[in-house]
Amino acid sequence: MRRARESTVLHWKGYDHARGGEALVRQMRPLRNADTEAVAPALPRLGVPAAVVWGAADRFQKLRYGHRLASDLGASIDEVAGGKHFMPEDHPDRIAAARQRGAARRTASSRAVTPYEQPEFERDRLPLIHPGEECEHLCDIDRLARPRAEACEECGMERTLRVCLSCGHVGCCESWRGHASARAEETGHPVIAAWRGGAFAYCYPHRRYL
Ligand SMILES: [Zn+2]
Ligand SMILES: [Zn+2]
Ligand SMILES: [Zn+2]
């Protein structure tokens, strides 16, 4: 109860002012089912460490969605009896435990990275999700660049990397420190491919998986 009150106070702050309604609309407006549907096919190929913790009593996001997500990610699922929608707030201990289990596994397997040679950095071998749909940004790149470093050039991260197909810059992913997208924004280079975690190409100007 105390935690619920604390939580309500924190969340309410953003809306409890004259332009609160606008804030809510701004927050809801970019939510589109189509975005979720577009990335769903990529989940099984993400290849990132994941654990799913789901409230068995969540009335908004049913338990079967959790099972679907876990199976797509190849992850374990921890069902929390009586858990509802706001799991990180209601059951922070279970989330922390899942993270810790994940970190332990990651340390154990962190040396199992793939070797440097990269046959997939060839146009006809890119793992495209929507192969029929042309992206002029990708077509305009004469020769796809291969990774020019073995780890994120900014922070040294060795897994779930993204490679710029224009210049070969290697950066870490959004769920780490986002150095790949930061560099893309700086250079205007449009398309990245996943490397050492995941199998997809993404176009920044189009804002979609290719
Ligand atoms: Zn594009
Ligand atoms: Zn980085
Ligand atoms: Zn680049």
> Model pTM?
0.51
Q: How far is the CA of 160 from the centre of ligand 2 (A)?
A: 10
The predicted model gives 12-18 an average pLDDT of: 84
Q: How far is the CA of 177 from the centre of ligand 2 (A)?
A: 5
pLDDT of amino acid 106 = 57
Q: How far is the CA of 73 from the centre of ligand 1 (A)?
A: 26
pLDDT of amino acid 109 = 45
Between 106 and 49, the more confident residue is 49
pLDDT of amino acid 10 = 80
Cα–Cα distance between 125 and 119 in angstroms, integer?
Answer: 7
Cα–Cα distance between 26 and 110 in angstroms, integer?
Answer: 40
- Tell me how far the alpha carbon of residue 183 is from its chain's centroid: 17
Q: Kindly identify the ligand whose nearest atom is closest to the C-alpha of 161.
A: 2
Q: Kindly identify the ligand whose nearest atom is closest to the C-alpha of 188.
A: 3
Structure tokens of 132? Answer: 């029929």
Any idea what DSSP says for residue 147? P
C-beta of residue 41 within 8 angstroms of C-beta of residue 15: no
Query: What region, left, alpha or beta, does residue 68 occupy, with left being phi > 0 and alpha being psi -120 to 50 degrees?
Result: alpha
Q: Mean pLDDT of all residues in the chain?
A: 84
Locate the domains of the chain by residue range.
32-109, 123-209
Q: Kindly identify the ligand whose nearest atom is closest to the C-alpha of 171.
A: 2
* pLDDT tens-digit readout, 165-178: 999 999 999 889 99
pLDDT of amino acid 119 = 52
Q: How far is the CA of 154 from the centre of ligand 2 (A)?
A: 5
Cα–Cα distance between 172 and 176 in angstroms, integer?
Answer: 6
Q: How far is the CA of 109 from the centre of ligand 2 (A)?
A: 20
Between 34 and 114, the more confident residue is 34
C-beta of residue 190 within 8 angstroms of C-beta of residue 202: no
Greatest mean pLDDT among 41-50, 60-69, 90-99, 147-156 lies in 147-156
pLDDT of amino acid 105 = 65
On the question of pLDDT at 127 being above 50, the answer is yes
Q: Kindly identify the ligand whose nearest atom is closest to the C-alpha of 179.
A: 2
Does the domain at 123-209 match CATH 3.40.630.30? Answer given as no
- Tell me how far the alpha carbon of residue 186 is from its chain's centroid: 21
Does the domain at 32-109 match CATH 3.40.109? Answer given as no
Q: Kindly identify the ligand whose nearest atom is closest to the C-alpha of 184.
A: 3
Residue type, 77: I
Q: Kindly identify the ligand whose nearest atom is closest to the C-alpha of 192.
A: 3
Containing 184, the helix (H) or strand (E) segment is helix 179-187
Q: How far is the CA of 163 from the centre of ligand 1 (A)?
A: 15
Q: How far is the CA of 56 from the centre of ligand 2 (A)?
A: 36
The predicted model gives 147-163 an average pLDDT of: 94
pLDDT of amino acid 107 = 53
* pLDDT tens-digit readout, 40-58: 777 777 767 788 899 999 9
Q: Kindly identify the ligand whose nearest atom is closest to the C-alpha of 207.
A: 1
Sign (positive or negative) of CA dihedral 20, 21, 23, 24: positive
Residue type, 113: V
Question: Strand pairing of 208-209 and 201-203?
Answer: antiparallel
